[in-house]
Amino acid sequence: MSKIHVNATVNGDAVEFLCEPDEVLLDVLRDRLNLTGAKEGCGTGDCGACSVTLNGRLVASCLVLGAEVEGSAIETVEGIGTADALHPLQRHLLDHAALQCGICTPGIIVAAKALLAENPDPSEEEVRFWLAGNLCRCTGYDKIIRAVLSAAAEMRGDSA
């Protein structure tokens, strides 16, 4: 079977790649585009470590085919902030010591950013349910939830 030619944008940059018809977006990002920020924790849509957004919609990139993203805009953790211009979510996760091993962190950042785009003022419960698809084995979630809530407050301009 021959490969499929795809055009898309990743973090605002135009990309062009060839992929197998059955190759998932996660593998395309990691193996073909050298963007290893999205992680594979399960490959079956259960852990959220591979979270990216596709045209603004939060997806598990292990469940999306590379061939499907023709013409789409993809955002990964690498596009969210840089070392000298961190996104508030990234900064608050650091300030709250909300990462231990950090393998879940890229997925959490991508997912939480998608949440705040939809709901800038979520309750604790809303954050917990939104992030229920992002497994973290190290932290017990406590500090992650607090970090997301305080990042949201900062982004709203609350003086919290």
Partner 1 sequence: MKQDFKVLGTRPIRPDGLDKVTGKAMFGADKSVTGMLHARVLRSPHAHAEIVSIDTSKAEALAGVKAVITGDDFEDVDNRWTRYTMQNCMAQGRALYDGHAVAAVAAVSKKVAAEALALIEVTYKPLPHVTDVDEAMAPDAPVLHEGVKGRNLGDDVSGNTVGYYSFGHGDPETGFAEADEVIERTFKTAAVHQGYIEPQACLADLGADGRGELWCCTQGHYEVRRICAEILHMDASQLRVTASEIGGGFGGKTTVFIEPVALKLSQKAGRPVKLVMSREEVFRATGPTMSASMDVKIGMAKDGRITGAHARLRYQGGAFPYQMVMLGAMSAFAAYDLEHVQAEGWDVMTNRPKMISYRAPGAPMAVYAVESVVDELCQKLGLDPLDVRIMNAAREGSKSSYGPTFKAIGLVEALEAAKAHPHYSAPLAPNTGRGVSCGFWFNFGGQVSVSMAINADGTVNLIEGNPDIGGSRASISMMAAEALGIEFDRVRTIVGDTASVGFSDVTDGSRVTFAVGIATINAAKAAIKEMCKRAAMIWEIDEESVEWIDGAAHAVGHNAGTLPPMTLAEIAATSGKTGGPIAGHHEGAPDKAGVSFGVHLVDVEVDPETGFTAIKRYTAFQDVGKAIHPAYVEGQIQGGAVQGIGWALNEEYIYGEDGRLQNPGFLDYRIPVASDLPMIEPVIIEVPNPGHPYGVRGCGETAIVPPLAAVSNGVARAIGARLYALPMSPPKILKAL
Residues near partner 1, by CB under 8 A:
20, 27, 30-31, 35-44, 46-47, 49, 76-78, 80-83, 86, 90, 93-97, 99-106, 109, 125, 127-129, 131-146
Contact partner at residue 37 from ligand FES, partner 1, none, CB < 5 to 8 Å by partner kind: partner 1
* Residues 60-90 as b or e (16 or more Cβ within 10 Å = b): bbbebbbbebeebebbbbbbbbeeeeebbbb
Contact partner at residue 69 from partner 1, ligand FES, none, CB < 5 to 8 Å by partner kind: none
Is residue 103 within 8 A of residue 39, CB to CB? The reply is yes
Q: Which residue from 86, 92, 109 is spatially nearest to 154, judged by alpha carbons?
A: 92
Residues near ligand FES, by CB under 6 A:
40-43, 45-50, 60, 62, 99-104, 136-139
Least Å distance, CB 15 to ligand FES, is 20
